[in-house]
């Protein structure tokens, strides 16, 4: 909670406009270092204020910066539209940065093109498609979102009283598709009678950043008797969480422990389907600093604790001991490979 308050304060205090069409944040400094590693981060259009995906990727840069052994100084540029991506990435190259983190599948092509044009600079992409032809200076930070979604769905299937659960999702890009597939299969695995509702956000200028649309879809699903709502789409998904909160239904957050990052929805949060974005970003930065960078893909999954679910927080007493035991068994099966989500090939 404290880290996110600090992040919000930093972002509010030091945002400046870039001519490239995005906003920029620069933070921190280093002393006593023979070299300061300059690391830039470019958000997708969801912004640092999304309280999940972009914010937590940026937290990974902050964590690297706060690790005094790494001698890192971080900066961020927010993208307003997809046409900003290439320009914002190039801004860091023009300023002599050592590494750039591109956040989100939508920057896949731009990040690869940028890496090829700037071979002396290291590039990390959060949420690659997995099909990128990686140049020698590019790495994709890939997650098994389906495993996190599966555990969250299994819990929803156990918890629901109405036997109807729902998901309000961002764009149907690979990471979101994996979340949805895992969630739906997980719910059915623990409750064969469950009805699972779901919708992807249509493509448009408010991709992952339309809480009003998300709230309206959540309200529609609640009207169809859903009593657990999974919001998986940045600010769009946050709207669905608020719909559940106002209807006094349970909700499930995404990407991070949204009980901490999005306290507005804390009272409905059963759990969150997490991928360790901050850990992944800091790992990529650390590899660059320590000359351990390898191109290709770094994979984060249940086996290496790269994905999972958050604590139950206010719902802990309402999640029975039997439910908790079943969830632990599912988590173990995913980690050792004996349990499949049905999304292994997505």
Token couple for 182:
């895992």
Burial environment of residue 324 by CB neighbours within 10 A (0 to 12, 13 to 18, 19 or more): middle
Judged against a pLDDT cut of 90, whether residue 51 lies above it is answered with no
Together in a domain, 15 and 74: yes
Judged against a pLDDT cut of 50, whether residue 13 lies above it is answered with no
Judged against a pLDDT cut of 90, whether residue 150 lies above it is answered with yes
> What pLDDT does residue 25 have?
61
Judged against a pLDDT cut of 90, whether residue 253 lies above it is answered with yes
Mean pLDDT of 321-328: 98
Catalogue the E-assigned strands of the chain.
Answer: 16-17, 23-27, 37-42, 72-78, 99-103, 122-126, 138-143, 164-169, 195-200, 228-232, 250-255, 269-275, 296-300, 307-309
Mean pLDDT of 1-9: 38
Together in a domain, 270 and 173: yes
Side by side, the strands of the sheet bearing 122-126 are: 16-17, 23-27, 72-78, 37-42, 99-103, 122-126, 138-143, 296-300
> What pLDDT does residue 50 have?
85
Side-chain half-sphere exposure of 297, counting CA atoms within 13 A: 14
Give tens-digit pLDDT for 161-180.
999 999 999 999 999 999 99
Q: What is the pTM of this model?
A: 0.85
Residues in CB range of 267: below 8 A, 6 or more apart = 245, 314
Judged against a pLDDT cut of 70, whether residue 48 lies above it is answered with yes
Mean pLDDT of 81-108: 96
> What pLDDT does residue 5 have?
37
Together in a domain, 214 and 132: no
Q: What percent of the chain has pLDDT over 90?
A: 87
Together in a domain, 27 and 165: no
Judged against a pLDDT cut of 80, whether residue 83 lies above it is answered with yes
* Structural domain containing residue 76: 2-144+277-300
Together in a domain, 160 and 212: yes
> What pLDDT does residue 46 have?
83
Q: Is residue 86 part of a domain?
A: yes
Number of domains in the chain: 2
> What pLDDT does residue 334 have?
98
Judged against a pLDDT cut of 60, whether residue 30 lies above it is answered with no
The CATH code of the domain that includes 263 is 3.40.50.2300
Q: Is residue 345 part of a domain?
A: no
Average pLDDT, the chain: 91
Together in a domain, 30 and 136: yes
Together in a domain, 72 and 126: yes
Together in a domain, 81 and 118: yes
């Amino acid at each position: 909670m404290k880290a996110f308050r600090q992040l919000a304060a930093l972002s509010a205090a030091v945002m400046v406009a870039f001519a490239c069409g995005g906003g920029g944040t620069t933070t921190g400094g280093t002393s006593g270092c023979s070299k300061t590693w300059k690391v830039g981060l470019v958000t997708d259009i969801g912004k640092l204020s999304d309280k999940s995906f972009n914010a937590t990727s940026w937290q990974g840069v902050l964590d690297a910066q706060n690790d005094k052994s790494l001698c890192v100084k971080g900066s961020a540029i927010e993208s307003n539209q997809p046409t900003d991506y290439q320009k914002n990435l190039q801004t860091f190259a023009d300023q002599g940065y050592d590494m750039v983190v591109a956040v989100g599948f939508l920057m896949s092509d731009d990040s690869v093109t940028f890496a090829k044009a700037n071979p002396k600079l290291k590039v990390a992409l959060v949420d690659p498609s997995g099909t990128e032809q990686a140049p020698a200076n590019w790495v994709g930070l890939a997650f098994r979102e389906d495993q996190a979604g599966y555990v969250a769905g299994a819990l929803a299937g156990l918890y629901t009283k109405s036997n109807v659960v729902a998901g309000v999702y961002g764009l149907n890009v690979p990471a979101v598709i994996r979340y949805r597939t895992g969630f739906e299969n997980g719910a059915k695995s623990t409750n064969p009678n469950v009805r699972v509702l779901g919708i992807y956000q249509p493509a448009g200028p408010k991709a992952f950043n339309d809480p009003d649309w998300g709230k309206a879809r959540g309200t529609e699903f609640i009207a169809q008797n859903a009593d657990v709502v999974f919001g998986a789409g940045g600010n769009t998904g946050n709207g669905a969480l608020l719909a559940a909160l106002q209807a006094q239904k349970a909700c499930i957050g995404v990407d991070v422990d949204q009980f901490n990052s999005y306290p507005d929805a804390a009272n409905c949060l059963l759990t969150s389907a997490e991928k360790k974005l901050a850990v992944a970003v800091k790992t990529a930065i650390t590899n660059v600093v320590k000359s351990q960078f390898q191109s290709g893909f770094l994979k984060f999954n249940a086996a290496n604790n790269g994905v999972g679910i958050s604590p139950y927080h206010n719902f802990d007493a309402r999640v029975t001991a039997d439910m908790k035991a079943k969830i632990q068994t599912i988590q173990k099966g995913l980690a050792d490979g004996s349990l499949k989500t049905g999304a292994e090939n997505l």
